[in-house]
Chains A and B, each alone.
Chain A
Amino acid sequence: MSYDPNSLVGVPEHGQERIRRARQAEQRGFFTSDLTVNEFLLVKQAGFDPLGLVVGSSIYHIGYQQSNWNQNQEMGVLTQAMYHARELAMTRMEEEADQLGADGVVGVRLDVGRYEWGENLAEFIAIGTAVKHHEGQLHRAPNGRPFTSDLSGQDFWTLLSSGYRPVGMVMGNCVYHVAHQGLRNFFKQIGQNQEMPNYTQALYDARELAMERMEAEADQLQAEGIVGVQLQERSHGWGSHVIEFFAVGTAIVPVRADHEIQQPTMVVTLND
């Protein structure tokens, strides 16, 4: 999906109304955010002001793909669907942030929900707090979009004070069909202690593909690295043999050469 900072396509009427109001409120210095008090203060200390809560969502119909009963293979159609839907949600959230004049979005949560009323439907939703720098320093990603990160306010503060900044959330996924065991193999292993190379290979490959795709995204953002990678393994109601691996993390770039942090001291909390 191409990115248009002035676009509000896909945002419902009430959403547009909310954004309009948030923009007016912004002039008064009013904001909404899901940051905790600690996070709020740390984000401010890092030089940013929260502007408002931004949301992007997409309800997506996931197509059907026939799998080979006895073959390990990637389910391209499903991989594509799961990726595209997440991208739509993220892009809509970024566009909302742009409408508020934000530099980026912190504390992004990316969830997949399924409903009873739609068997092949899934809701993809991205929520975060839009922030803007006090002195108008540009903090965007190289592709012009506002930066996104799933880091907490505390992590955001620590990262900035050590000479790095987030450029964007990067993700990769892979939906994989794990082959059923053939009859011949079944007889071969009856009563035997042995590794299952077929299954091991399937899960290994799927995980590697998801990670590789995430790394490719970070490469595109010219990032130095990715922190806080989460690797999720879920079967979104496709039956037990079809599994999605999803890798997501925050890509970071250095803003200065030295990344020395103050020598930490060890403390003992007297709280229980």
Chain B
Amino acid sequence: MPLFHRRTDEERQRDEEQRRFQDQAQRDQQQSVASLEAGGLPVAATRRLQEVSSRQRLFTSDLSVDEFLLVKAAGFHPITQVTGSSIYHVGWQRLPGQSVWYRQSEELEVVTRAWNEVRGRALGRLRQEAALAGADAVVGVRVTFQRYDWGHDLIEFNLVGTAIRSISGPHFEEPVLSSLSGQEFWELYQAGYMPAGIVGGSSVFYMAATPQTQWSQSWFGSVFNQELQDFTLGLRVAQHRASTRAYDESRRLGATGIVGMRIEQEQAEYETEINEGQKVTDMIFSAHTLGTAIAQVADRPVPATTPVVVLRK
């Protein structure tokens, strides 16, 4: 290239076009972030789904062939895959103060709220996407939550499912979400049930060790077999609160029950000093529940089942 290269019109046009493209991308990104902050969807998702609902032909689904055909047999047709996700920063949590005289156990409010909120936001986006696609329901929702290397205080909650539209089945004003497989959806529909929504709850509970447990942690006490009643109780409380939240949500949806409820739990030891040099190990219990609430739409008997022996697993 000569030192004084005069750009041709074509080159100038190309640069201009590229700049325009980048500007557009930048604008889209800003708009997406603003929309996400308000709990909405990014621009790319809105655009794709509007296109999906305007076009009749092509559908996408992560349903297997069997599931696809069973969903069709129940009178529904797949429209598109829908996703909902949220990445959330967990704030600073004050742990209950401890002393020799007074040991406090309580639900860790900030962390608990973070978990409940991240799930709510992801589910909200999934529902919005399904509504944009003109769906009556979402089936086969798979849930993943993970942490990335680039943030220890971050939770990602991620949902992927297939939006379906009713052809000869019942219609819904707002799309109902479910983590049912195509097979399960069909089975329930045969028996007169429809999903009412995905429900869940989380609870993170701090349990302070009682004197009995402290004694068992000491060198002498570690010899004996014994139940640690405080920790048993702590785990139970976390599970109970997580389930109750899911149950309350299902009541609000007017459901008759919850199927396929999963309870996941984690515990972490937390060492604290209550007196000079006296260390105690307390526990933090987390419980997360997630299930599909169902509602009866027709009074039909459960179809007869046949027992079979499969010759090969």
Contact = CB atoms under 8 A, between A and B. Distances in A.
A, B in one complex = yes
Contacts of B306: 265-268
A211 B69 CA distance: 22
A183 interface: no
Given A195-B118, A268-B305, A200 B148 contact: no
B156 interface: yes
Nearest to A226: B60
B58 A198 contact: no
Contacts of B149: 240
Contact of A208 (B45, B113, B308): B45
A271 B312 CA distance: 9
Contacts of A226: 58-61
A205 B32 contact: yes
B277 interface: no
Interface string B134-145: 000000000000
Interface in A241-272: 241, 249, 259-261, 263-271
A26 interface: no
Given A229-B81, A241-B150, A193 B44 contact: no
Interface in B59-98: 59-66, 68-70, 72-73, 78, 81, 83, 85-92
A201 B309 contact: no
B19 to A, nearest CB: 15
A151 B304 CA distance: 30
A66 to B, nearest CB: 15
B29 interface: yes
B155 to A, nearest CB: 10
B89 A264 contact: no
A196 B154 contact: yes
Question: For chain A, what secondary structure do more than half of its interface residues adopt (helix, strand, loop), or is it mixed?
Answer: mixed
Interface in B27-74: 29, 32-34, 36-37, 41-42, 44-45, 48, 57-66, 68-70, 72-73
Given A178-B150, A265-B306, A267-B305, A203 B63 contact: no
Given A200-B87, A204-B85, A193 B113 contact: yes
A113 to B, nearest CB: 22
A219 interface: yes
B297 interface: no
A198 B33 contact: yes
Residue in A178, A189, A193, A228 with the greatest tally of chain B CB atoms within 10 Å: A193
A238 B33 CA distance: 25
Chain B interface size range: 35 or more
Given A218-B58, A228-B64, A269 B310 contact: yes
A201 B307 contact: no
B117 interface: yes
Contacts of A198: 33
B303 A266 contact: yes
A151 B65 contact: yes
B32 A201 contact: yes
B64 A227 contact: yes
B91 A191 contact: yes
Contact of A225 (B59, B88, B150): B59
B114 A193 contact: yes
Contacts of B150: 178, 180, 240-241
Interface stretch (A53-61, A86-94, A98-106, A154-162): A154-162
Contacts of B303: 265-266
Contact of B58 (A192, A194, A201, A223): A223
Contacts of A231: 62, 81, 160
A159 B44 contact: no
A195 B36 contact: yes
B304 A271 contact: no
B233 interface: no
Contacts of A207: 83, 85
A207 B122 CA distance: 15
B245 to A, nearest CB: 17
Interface string A78-91: 00000000000000
Contacts of B81: 211, 229, 231
B202 to A, nearest CB: 13
Interface of B: 25, 29, 32-34, 36-37, 41-42, 44-45, 48, 57-66, 68-70, 72-73, 78, 81, 83, 85-92, 110, 113-114, 117-118, 121, 148-151, 154, 156, 160, 186-187, 190, 303-310, 312-313
Which 3 pairs across A and B sit closest by C-beta, in order of nearness? A191-B92, A225-B59, A193-B91
